[in-house]
Amino acid sequence: MSVSLIPREDGLLVSNINNQKGLQIQCEVSSTFEDTMQNSARYLIFFQYIGTKYSGAVRVPPHQLAKKGVQNYLEDAIKRLKPLHPVSLTVSSRTDTGVHAFSNSAHFDLQRKNDMPPFPADVLVEAVNFHLGTEQIRVTHAQRVPDDFHARFRAQSRTYVYRIALGVPHYSLLPLTDRDLCWSLRQTELDVGAMREAAALLVGVHDFSSFRAVNSDLPLKSPVKTLDLASIQPGGSFTQAHFHRKISFWELTFRSRSFLYKQVRRMTGALVAVGQGRLSVPQLKEILAARDSLAYPQGLAAPAHGLFLTRVEYREEDLQLSQQTSEE
């Protein structure tokens, strides 16, 4: 006896023979659907990149082929793993063109074909990195997370470090390992004491409108942010012990749950201007109090290539899978 199946609006298949057969087929199809859903896994990955050649962290539309985003390359690499459905990453932190990351993060759902079990985290890391080839992007860690986990909205803090090299008349005099990875200045010294005094004014809850650049998100995001940390500490070259002359490096570190568009680069530029004597501490305080992006001096923002996203933090309980899922 032949049985024809008709799709219902809810996605189940029913038989056109009789109700008993229909019920039996519905149960079988429903069971298969549940098994398939259990075979899908949500992953959180941490990844690093040298941002020089990329158009920021997030995906660039297909018609803009001149420079792709880091997300484009990660999704292309995951596509090579032949998932059942197309994979789309949700990136936690949208770094700009030229900005680097030691640790950005993203989540995505991946389901393998032919009812294959989810990839173990270490296998996923190795496979994605293999398919990234020579791109200056690497996945450093992966783990399965709950199905409702969100890499962007569950992030508790983001930390950025801005690297500055002093006494460098031209960027070509930097070690190769630091080129395009710091902001080189001709000055041999900065007034670090004044910079730290100015940085202390930025810590806490403020309307940072003066320190955000204008973009399409301007009407949608609150300018009020809580800056948990703004520190200025000595840094170092990546090849300090092996370079023929000493270069003085400084690192400006900022930590907050989230930042406004170009906020870190504008804060850095203002603090460096204080260190150079081009801006006083009271003037920086006035810029902050103005709560107006037009109050920020034109051309003062620090360039992108000295900035690194170094850490995205989550609460441990948000990352925990149920015991049943973790045992699968």
Asked if 178 is an active-site residue, the reply is no
- pLDDT at 16 (0 to 100): 46
- pLDDT at 216 (0 to 100): 62
Q: Is the pTM of this model over 0.75?
A: yes
**14-25 pLDDT per residue, tens:** 334 344 444 443
- pLDDT at 6 (0 to 100): 43
Among 123, 128, 150, 148, CA closest to 138: 128
Among 322, 303, 173, CA closest to 243: 173
The catalytic residue among 76, 96, 191, 318 is 96
- Give the distance from CA 257 to its chain's centroid: 13
**158-199 pLDDT per residue, tens:** 999 999 999 998 888 898 999 999 999 999 999 999 999 999
How far is it, in rounded angstroms, from Cα 325 to Cα 328?
5
- pLDDT at 221 (0 to 100): 85
Residues of the chain with pLDDT under 50: 1-36, 327
Q: Is the separation of the CB atoms in 187 and 172 below 8 Å?
A: no
Is beta strand 100-111 parallel, antiparallel or unpaired with respect to 13-15?
A: unpaired
